[in-house]
Amino acid sequence: MANFSVAARTLIHLGAELITSDEVAINELVKNAFDAESKRVRINVFIPISHSLIDDCLAILDNSKKEEALQDDIFHIKKMLIESVSEPSIAAQVEELLLNLTSDSSKDEAKKIVESINYITIEDSGCGMDLATLETVFLAIGTPSKVNSESTKDLNRKILGNKGIGRLAMMRLGDIANVTSWVEQGSAHEIEFDWRMFDDPEKIITDIEFEIKPTTCPRPTPSGTVIKITALKSSWTEEKVREKLVGDFFRRLQNPFVMSLDEGSSDNTKKK
């Protein structure tokens, strides 16, 4: 007998074909939250630093060849990032995110910290996932868990999600995604994806493994899921959030949600 083997890079190509824009990606993740019977979804787009400056800082780190030069570059980058934010409250948050960026940081550690400054979170209070569900359903692309269901169990909502491609939506938005989920207060699990691992042309998809770790619940709700996406691939602005996300997609949803955008000196919250 013979079996197909799937190259790891296939997942990247699949995501590019099925999730064609950032707006589609956010919309898919929101639909998945409603399918989990969440009464409300909170989306936070935190962009205190311009995408171009983040790219510049990463390029500086990539070009650091010696340890002494790396230490100087880290000091320069940290100063440059903090000084680029004019709003004191936002600058304080950036400083907190950069606390672990020190002269002792390795190049990879420094890059991960810089990549984590701008982020998108999607938080819901739905049914959540336990360890078994994360392993057998969440990590199965195109999982059949929704195929035989037309509506959700308790709220009798029509199933909106597209049969297991929400994972690919995370990949569209950023290179790193952290998923924390829980089905009861006091016991949560988290899993972190670095989608760049799938770029290795020598690997098949089963070569790549992710550790699921126990953790504390990040929200006080009885159950829920929090997705945090970093190493963002696109430039996000207030205009993009208002026109592309709210205007083109979220107005089509009849369910209530909250979105907030933190960008530089902006302090905007949209409710619908």
Domain range list for the chain = 1-47+118-254, 48-117
Nearest to 19 by CA among 192, 260, 234: 234
What's the rounded Cα separation, in Å, for the pair 175 and 55?
Answer: 14
On average, the pLDDT of the chain sits at 86
Look up tokens 């799937």; give the residue: 6
Tell me the helix, strand and coil percentages in the chain, rounded to 5: 40, 20, 40
Q: What pLDDT score was predicted for residue 131? A: 95
In tens, the pLDDT along 31-58 reads 889 889 999 999 999 999 999 999 999 9
Identify the CATH homologous superfamily for domain 1-47+118-254: Histidine kinase-like ATPase, C-terminal domain (3.30.565.10)
What's the rounded Cα separation, in Å, for the pair 164 and 68?
Answer: 47
What's the rounded Cα separation, in Å, for the pair 26 and 223?
Answer: 21
In tens, the pLDDT along 100-154 reads 999 999 999 999 999 999 999 999 999 999 999 999 888 887 765 554 555 445 5
What's the rounded Cα separation, in Å, for the pair 84 and 70?
Answer: 21
Helices (H) and strands (E) in the chain, counts: 9, 8
What's the rounded Cα separation, in Å, for the pair 125 and 192?
Answer: 20
What's the whole-number mean pLDDT along residues 241-269? 59
Confidence check: pLDDT of 258 > 60: no
Q: Which helix (H) or strand (E) holds 9?
A: helix 9-18
Confidence of residue 244 (pLDDT cuts 50, 70, 90): confident
Q: What pLDDT score was predicted for residue 162? A: 54
What's the whole-number mean pLDDT along residues 238-249? 78
Backbone φ and ψ of 240, nearest 5°:
-65, -40
Q: CA separation (Å) from 124 to 43, 70, 129? A: 9, 40, 12
Describe the crossing of helices 51-62 and 67-83 by its angle, rounded to 10 degrees: 170
Of 15-29, 133-147, 218-232, give the range with the top mean pLDDT. 218-232
Confidence check: pLDDT of 270 > 50: no
Under a CB-based contact definition with an 8 Å cutoff, are residues 195 and 175 in contact? yes
What's the rounded Cα separation, in Å, for the pair 179 and 210?
Answer: 12
